[in-house]
Homo-oligomer: A and B are copies of this chain.
Amino acid sequence: MTTLAQIEAMDAADALAGFRAHFHLPAGLVYLDGNSLGPLPIRAQARIAQVTAREWGDGLINSWETAGWIDAPARIGDKIARLIGAGKGEVLVADSTSINLFKCLAAALAMQPGRTVMLSESGNFPTDLYMMQGLAGLTGARCEVVQPDRLLASLDASVAVLTLTHVNYRSAAIHDLAAITRAAHDAGALVAWDLSHSVGAVPVDLESAGVDFAVGCGYKFLNGGPGAPAFIYVARRHQAAAPSVLSGWLGHREPFAFDETYQPDPGIGRFRCGTPPILSLLALEEGVDLLLEADQAALRGKQSALSRLLIELIGSHCEGMGFTLASPHEDELRGGHVSIRHAHGFAIMQALKARGVIGDFRGPDILRFGIAPLYLRFGDIYEAVTRLVRVMREEAWRRPEFNRRASVT
């Protein structure tokens, strides 16, 4: 059993420890929800103030050029590309994950005449399934949502595109992105990966896996701020043939020519649509920049160690209290969070939040703890489990106020 002294030694030896000071983390709080909303990078606060006062306030309309607003979606996209094994000009920041997935799926359908099925799995993040359903209603394409163990067998000649989330939002189980992509390609299907729980959390190499399309979220492990814009990846080899069905003016090859006929940008730029929300967009850049300063392999190593420690401490300190692990045991199969089942999971998480440990709950019985190695300490994990033990011993979770289901997040 790992002792407190050993945990303190782990923090003392942590080469990434210095990054914590770059975040605003309220005193006394153990924040294990960075997979829902990453905390505020101190620099983002300064950047937002600067964008507001100097760029919007003083620069006004000129800031589209002078402050580089117009190029920001591609510039930040190129930075995110470095986190997911993509090349320059393959990633763009725009809109939301849901809308970007719609763009990918619609392009894939158009590129696969004669194939009409969008395939996914039960247990995928709901918005991905919903966007498929909306697109199906619009186009006559068909959604096929199968049990995970039926996925590969369902890859037949009717499948235009397979879409999956790389790291499962509930269990944190990681799909084998390269193998599944290969299987889809072997069946003549394209793939669209949702990297929302992957980017900034687990290694992704889109290029070596030959991935066609991907999307992901800006406000989780990228620490881009609430509702930060999302990103879209389209492999360079597909860009000229992938139609942009949400063909807004900023995706036009010459938006300021004000042509009446849409002529798409030749590259990733065609997946821009309307005008991007600049304040939210530039806050995201600070989160991405900070993440890029860290060694990605070291981050993943520390994340695995933090996760192992959490699993070990719950196992030892909470033995017999009714907790079971809902995430894979093996580090290499587990993404950026640790999920634990408990029959009273909802109330326990509420009680834990009241004690200053912020995780979240996913029905029916999952306590989800985000493990972000950029700002978490091994001591935080110890503290979280200590407070969890107290909640359980005192049966604090039985109180009525912790059993009211009003949570929206």
Contact = CB atoms under 8 A, between A and B. Distances in A.
Given A37-B56, A45-B57, 8 more contacts: A49-B49, A56-B225, A62-B358, A70-B408, A126-B260, A134-B245, A145-B260, A226-B277
Interface in A235-277: 243-249, 251-252, 255-262, 273-277
Interface in A177-200: none
A172 B277 CA distance: 25
Contacts of A56: 37, 39-40, 225-226
Interface centre among A29, A99, A219, A255 (most CB of B within 10 A): A99
A127 interface: yes
Interface string A298-319: 0000000000000000000000
Contact of A52 (B45, B58, B122): B45
Contacts of A44: 52
Interface string A386-402: 00000000000000000
Nearest to A256: B408
A60 B277 contact: no
12 contacts: A33-B61, A61-B358, A65-B406, A96-B248, A125-B249, A126-B252, A130-B249, A134-B243, A225-B278, A227-B278, A230-B274, A279-B283
Interface stretch (A1-9, A135-143, A335-343): A135-143
Given A256-B407, A363-B257, A247 B130 contact: yes
B126 A247 contact: no
A326 interface: no
Interface of A: 24, 26, 29, 31, 33, 36-37, 39-40, 44-45, 48-49, 52-53, 55-58, 60-65, 69-70, 95-99, 102, 106, 110, 122, 124-127, 129-131, 133-135, 137-139, 145, 219, 225-230, 243-249, 251-252, 255-262, 273-281, 283, 353, 358, 360, 362-363, 406-409
Contacts of A65: 406-409
Contacts of A283: 52, 279
Contacts of A129: 260-262
Contacts of A124: 260
Nearest to A97: B274
Contact of A130 (B36, B126, B252): B252
Contacts of A37: 56, 60-61, 64
A106 B138 contact: yes
Contact of A258 (B40, B69, B126, B280): B126
A409 B61 contact: yes
Contacts of A58: 24, 26
Given A56-B226, A246-B102, A408-B65, A259 B126 contact: yes
Contact of A127 (B45, B131, B249): B249
Contacts of A39: 56-57, 60
Of all A-B residue pairs in the complex, the 8 with the closest CB atoms, nearest first, are A96-B274, A277-B280, A98-B248, A134-B247, A127-B249, A226-B278, A98-B274, A130-B262
A227 B409 CA distance: 26
A274 B64 contact: no
A259 to B, nearest CB: 6
Given A57-B40, A135-B245, A245-B137, A227 B127 contact: no
Contact of A48 (B24, B48, B246): B48
A75 B167 CA distance: 34
A98 B36 CA distance: 28
A275 B138 contact: no
Nearest to A281: B227
A360 B65 CA distance: 14
Contacts of A55: 226
A345 to B, nearest CB: 14
A67 to B, nearest CB: 9
A256 B69 CA distance: 34
